[in-house]
């Protein structure tokens, strides 16, 4: 895709809040931030840096921009795409944090008086450990110590920021946006865009977004493409159906007697082995409780639980290999162990109804990290492709790609060109897991991705990729073999000629005279 990406068509950007009044939710957090900013106007606050942290799409970046604008401060931003090495941070943020702005105490174009402050914003501050950011954490800590300007860090995961930086900063948490607060915002967008929306449809979009207002806006835009009206049935995602099917499969895994039955039940699920393992993991101690036949608690760990976890840890090893090597064949082994494992280690029958729990706690911990990490990986690929910053790629181009990828041809082309792996494709195709459709797009996209890969990586090609590229280029290869034979003959003749010339020159040269090349 060579055409320049049109970013202005992105509703999440179009409706980015401009004033404090436009910001939805997190009132307490915003109030705290404003107090910190006011302290800067009076002198120095106790902590010269502030960290806004919380889930994606809840308004952290928007709040930072609104703060600068409402305070009349200049907004100086460094994001992960700026290669934040210690050196770069010191040069940009260090300099900015010491000098005052050129237009100190002047009025801006809106007639607002500027206090001459600069808000130095470091986005993705929990992402400073990569190669690009060598020494970045220490540089930031130093900049905070020396700064005469307010510094604002943005992060999803507060634990991804070093303790040294945290101790020098005021930490403000941003919570997920509540469904009931999202509804009026989405309704207003519909009104502004001339779309009639059923209340239930809006509610469903808001519920499905899980507190992420950016994705709610993206979903709203996606579902209204080419429409002037949306109804509840236009919104297809539903968490409940998934739960109902997995509950039935779990009964077979924990209580069944037939391996094939359990395996069949799991096969029909639209869940990745990663999701499945989390379900079994969460429910194993609940399903195999520490009780005897009479319902009395027994001391120690139930051996069935211990043995069950042993099998799950083996399944997890396979999953790790899949992640590292992208060999999806091993999913089969992992699924087999997760499914058949608990049934095989069970030493007795566990009767009675036990409610299954969805792996929310685990999932939330793991997923916020992995979704963020994955989005960042995708953004790295996209920013390299389009020479755009990480921020633009993450916030504007990814949503645009996701909309384009609703069309399968675009999905295959963009996945191949960007070399998305299966997990990344799940995200880009807005699937819940690696469904058959995702796998099919992935397989097709490999032809494009393999063809794009530089020749040196041929060594690391999987046998499958090797087969595909040799099939795609078989005609070309036959020609190349003939060419190669011819070239090799020509090269040999050329080398022989060069050697002969060299020998002649050496004979001409006096014995004590060395040429420059002799020294190397
Ligand atoms: N609290 C909010 N109030 C109004 N709009 C919001 C809010 N949160 C998100 N949005 C919408 O979502 C878009 C993205 O929000 P923003 O970039 O501020 O989120 P973020 O928390 O910084 O996310 P990330 O961690 O992914 O950078 C905004 O342009 C806006 O359209």
Is the Cβ–Cβ distance between 168 and 152 less than 8 Å? no
Region at 333 (left for phi over 0; alpha for psi -120 to 50; beta for the rest): alpha
Distance, CA of 412 to CA of 415 (rounded, Å)? 5
User: Is there a single domain that holds both residue 448 and residue 483?
Assistant: no
User: Is there a single domain that holds both residue 484 and residue 443?
Assistant: no
Q: Is the CB of 58 under 6 A from ligand 1?
A: yes
Distance, CA of 4 to CA of 400 (rounded, Å)? 12
Name the least confident of 21-30, 327-336, 427-436, 511-520: 511-520
Mean of the per-residue pLDDT values of the chain: 75
Q: Name the domain boundary from 174, 203, 219.
A: 174
Give the pLDDT confidence score for residue 504 in this predicted structure: 53
Distance, CA of 248 to CA of 260 (rounded, Å)? 15
Comparing CA positions, the residue from 318, 339, 322 lying closest to residue 246 is 339
Is the Cβ–Cβ distance between 170 and 47 less than 8 Å? yes
Report the nearest atom of ligand 1 relative to the CA of 25: 1
Distance 185 CA to ligand 1 centre (A): 12
Is position 51 within any domain? yes
The residues facing 74 across adjacent strands are 118
pLDDT digits (tens, 9 = 90+) for 74-122: 888 876 545 555 666 666 666 655 555 444 444 555 555 556 788 989 8
The residues facing 484 across adjacent strands are none
> What's the CA angle centered on 216, arms 213 and 221, to 5 degrees?
130
The residues facing 171 across adjacent strands are 51
User: Is there a single domain that holds both residue 131 and residue 49?
Assistant: yes
Residue 461 pLDDT class (50, 70, 90 cuts): very low
Is position 223 within any domain? no
| Pocket probe mutation, ligand 1, options 58, 78, 80, 374, max atoms within 8 Å of Cβ | 58
Is position 206 within any domain? no
Give the pLDDT confidence score for residue 241 in this predicted structure: 42
Is position 91 within any domain? yes
CATH number of the CATH domain containing 122: 3.40.50.300
Q: Is the CB of 213 under 6 A from ligand 1?
A: yes
| Pocket probe mutation, ligand 1, options 8, 15, 16, max atoms within 8 Å of Cβ | 16
User: Is there a single domain that holds both residue 439 and residue 373?
Assistant: yes
Distance 315 CA to ligand 1 centre (A): 38
User: Is there a single domain that holds both residue 57 and residue 75?
Assistant: yes
Distance 236 CA to ligand 1 centre (A): 24
Distance, CA of 428 to CA of 405 (rounded, Å)? 7
Give the pair of three-digit tokens for residue 355: 């409610």
User: Is there a single domain that holds both residue 442 and residue 470?
Assistant: no
Give the pair of three-digit tokens for residue 289: 């409780």
Number of domains present in the structure of the chain:
4
Is position 76 within any domain? yes
User: Is there a single domain that holds both residue 321 and residue 372?
Assistant: no
Is position 513 within any domain? no
pLDDT of residue 476 exceeding 90: no
Q: Is the CB of 127 under 6 A from ligand 1?
A: no
Q: Name the domain boundary from 325, 355, 385.
A: 355
The residues facing 52 across adjacent strands are 154, 172
Write the CA distances from 227 to 12, 224, 233, 501, integer angstroms. 18, 5, 14, 77
Distance, CA of 258 to CA of 301 (rounded, Å)? 26
User: Is there a single domain that holds both residue 78 and residue 107?
Assistant: yes
User: Is there a single domain that holds both residue 381 and residue 428?
Assistant: yes
User: Is there a single domain that holds both residue 330 and residue 351?
Assistant: yes
Give the pLDDT confidence score for residue 324 in this predicted structure: 67
Is position 15 within any domain? no
Per DSSP, 268 falls in state T
pLDDT of residue 16 exceeding 90: yes
Instruction: List, as one string, the DSSP characters of 54-100.
Output: ESTTSSHHHHHHHHHHHHT-EEEEE-GGG---HHHHIIIIIHHHHSP
Q: Name the domain boundary from 391, 421, 452.
A: 452
Averaged pLDDT, 401-415: 90
Per DSSP, 218 falls in state H
pLDDT digits (tens, 9 = 90+) for 305-356: 888 888 888 888 888 777 766 666 677 788 888 888 898 888 888 877 777 7
User: Is there a single domain that holds both residue 350 and residue 370?
Assistant: no
Is position 148 within any domain? yes
Name the least confident of 16-20, 60-64, 151-155, 211-215: 211-215
Pairing of strands 151-155, 169-174: unpaired
Distance, CA of 393 to CA of 390 (rounded, Å)? 5
Give the pair of three-digit tokens for residue 383: 């920013």
Q: Is the CB of 24 under 6 A from ligand 1?
A: yes
User: Is there a single domain that holds both residue 109 and residue 43?
Assistant: yes
Q: What does the chain come to in residues?
A: 520
Give the residue carrying structure tokens 């010339």: 501
Residue range(s) defining the domain that contains residue 308: 269-355
Distance, CA of 43 to CA of 112 (rounded, Å)? 20
Give the pLDDT confidence score for residue 480 in this predicted structure: 38
């Amino acid at each position: 895709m060579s055409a320049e990406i049109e970013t202005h068509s992105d509703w999440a950007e179009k409706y980015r809040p401009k004033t404090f009044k436009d910001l939805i939710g997190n009132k307490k957090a915003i109030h705290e931030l404003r107090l910190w900013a006011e302290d800067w106007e009076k002198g120095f606050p106790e902590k010269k840096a502030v960290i806004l942290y919380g889930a994606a799409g809840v308004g952290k970046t928007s709040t930072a921009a609104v703060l600068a604008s409402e305070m009349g401060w200049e907004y100086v931003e460094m994001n992960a795409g700026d290669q934040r090495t210690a050196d770069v941070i010191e040069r940009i943020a260090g300099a900015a944090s010491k000098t005052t702005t050129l237009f100190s105490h002047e009025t801006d174009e809106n007639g607002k008086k500027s206090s001459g402050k600069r808000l130095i914003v470091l986005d993705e501050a929990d992402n400073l450990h990569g190669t690009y950011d060598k020494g970045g954490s220490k540089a930031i800590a130093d900049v905070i110590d020396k700064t005469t300007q307010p510094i604002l860090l943005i992060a999803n995961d507060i634990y991804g920021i070093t303790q040294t930086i945290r101790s020098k900063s005021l930490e403000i948490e941003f919570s997920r946006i509540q469904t009931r607060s999202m509804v009026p915002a989405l309704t207003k967008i519909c009104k502004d865009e001339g779309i009639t929306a059923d209340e239930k449809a809006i509610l469903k979009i808001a519920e499905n977004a899980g507190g992420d207002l950016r994705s709610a806006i993206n979903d709203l835009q996606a579902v209204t493409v080419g429409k002037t009206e949306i109804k509840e049935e236009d919104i297809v995602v539903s968490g409940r159906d998934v739960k109902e099917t997995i509950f039935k499969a779990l009964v077979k895994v924990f209580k069944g007697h037939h391996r094939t039955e359990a395996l069949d039940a799991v096969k029909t699920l639209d869940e990745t082995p990663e999701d499945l393992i989390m379900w079994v993991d969460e429910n194993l101690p609940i399903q195999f409780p520490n009780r005897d036949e009479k319902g009395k608690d027994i001391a120690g760990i139930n051996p069935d639980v211990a043995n069950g976890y042993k099998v799950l840890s083996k399944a997890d090893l396979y999953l790790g290999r899949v992640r590292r090597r992208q060999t999806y064949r091993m999913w089969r082994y992992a699924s087999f162990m997760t499914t058949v494992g608990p049934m095989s280690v069970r030493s007795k029958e566990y009767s009675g109804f036990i409610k299954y729990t969805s792996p929310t706690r685990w999932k939330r911990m793991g997923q916020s990290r992995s979704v963020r990490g994955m989005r960042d990986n995708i953004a790295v690929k996209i920013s390299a492709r389009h020479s755009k910053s990480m921020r633009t790629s993450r916030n504007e181009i990814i949503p645009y790609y996701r909309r384009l990828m609703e069309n399968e041809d675009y999905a295959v082309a963009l996945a191949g060109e960007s070399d998305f792996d299966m997990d990344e494709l799940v995200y880009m195709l807005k699937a819940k897991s690696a469904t058959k459709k995702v796998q099919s797009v992935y397989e097709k996209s490999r032809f494009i991705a393999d063809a794009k890969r530089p020749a040196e990586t041929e060594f690391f090609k999987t046998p499958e990729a090797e087969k595909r590229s040799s099939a795609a280029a078989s005609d070309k290869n036959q020609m190349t073999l003939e060419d190669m034979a011819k070239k090799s003959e020509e090269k040999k003749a050329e080398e022989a000629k060069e050697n002969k010339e060299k020998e002649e020159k050496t004979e001409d040269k006096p014995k004590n005279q060395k040429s420059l090349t002799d020294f190397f």
